[in-house]
Amino acid sequence: MNTRFDQGVDSTALAVPFREKSSDAPLEILSFALDALKSGMPAALIFLTEIRGGAARALGAQMAVRADGGFCGFVSGGCVEAAVAAEALEALVLGTDKELMLGAGSPYFDIVLPCGGGLTLTIHCLKDGTALSEIVRGLMARRRVALRYVPASSSLVFDAQAAETGWSEAGFTMAYRPAPLIFVSGQSIETETLSRIAQSASYEVRQLDPANVPKPEDFDPDSALVLLHHDIEREVGPLIAALAGAPFYIGALGGVRTHARRVAKLEELGCSKASIETIKAPIGIFSKARDAVSLSLSILADIAALRR
């Protein structure tokens, strides 16, 4: 299936690929494809199904391509996406799915990956938006969901159960997680700076205050709690809720002595030693950050590393 304009398609009659949206967020890519279908325009979804050697993107990385040439998403570092979109435009004209090999292991020499590795991509011509709509709804509701491509029927199937990305007997599964959500508690320049930088990195942010204390169920496995107080008493509400919930990260401002007082307070309130040990304090990947920007970058890097 490694075709390159060799099935009778006039490449000069195809639309010219152009990047309309620069994003690698699954929700944006799938929404891009859905919007095309809703407007009556054919679209294709492209996903990375095999990596040989090095690669700039992870297995399951995606692109969406409209019949007018507009595309969104990445399957590599930006070096091959326009060429891949051209292949998708051909597939849309033919109305058939195709597999494309690039770089190492490919029979073609015109597309070479700078990393020296090789990729296999599946180009799927979307028949309808049913499965994609389910994925989008799931992500908007902050659920972990999955999409399975079935080669035998050239179809996409929604899976409400979280799964790992990769091949199985059923086909190729793409697992999706909601965008990271950071609850930020504190009244300081650090709070505003962290919120601003996190939002620019496409994280969801909710700032907390004494009148807006979260409940344990607000903390899902893709959420984090950041405490930027200089007063332990003001931390207690969010901390108790987070320790009873399921966030993947809890971090609190303060040095060793401050944290010792925090631990004593939580033990006094009946929190278990095991749950208290999940708190990262001092917060961040490097200590003694003395300005708001450095502290915010330290915290976000810590969160991003743990989320991986």
Report pLDDT digits (tens) over 71-108.
999 998 877 899 999 999 999 999 999 999 887 666 65
The per-residue pLDDT for 4 is 47
CB 299 within 8 A of CB 251: yes
φ, ψ for residue 195 (rounded to 5)?
-60, -45
Angle at 116 between CA 306 and CA 77, to 5 degrees: 50
pLDDT tens, residue by residue, 128-160: 999 999 999 999 999 999 999 999 999 999 998
Task: Could you list the beta-strand ranges (E) of 24-154.
Answer: 43-52, 62-66, 70-73, 98-103, 118-125, 145-150
CA separation for the pair 31, 132 (Å, rounded): 8
Residues (pLDDT < 70) of the chain are 1-13, 104-116
CB 166 within 8 A of CB 160: no
Pairing of strands 204-208, 171-176: unpaired
Tokens at 193, concatenated: 């700076």
Pairing of strands 70-73, 18-21: parallel
The per-residue pLDDT for 1 is 39
pLDDT tens, residue by residue, 152-174: 999 999 998 878 999 998 899 99
How many residues in total does the chain contain?
A: 308
The per-residue pLDDT for 210 is 81
The per-residue pLDDT for 107 is 63
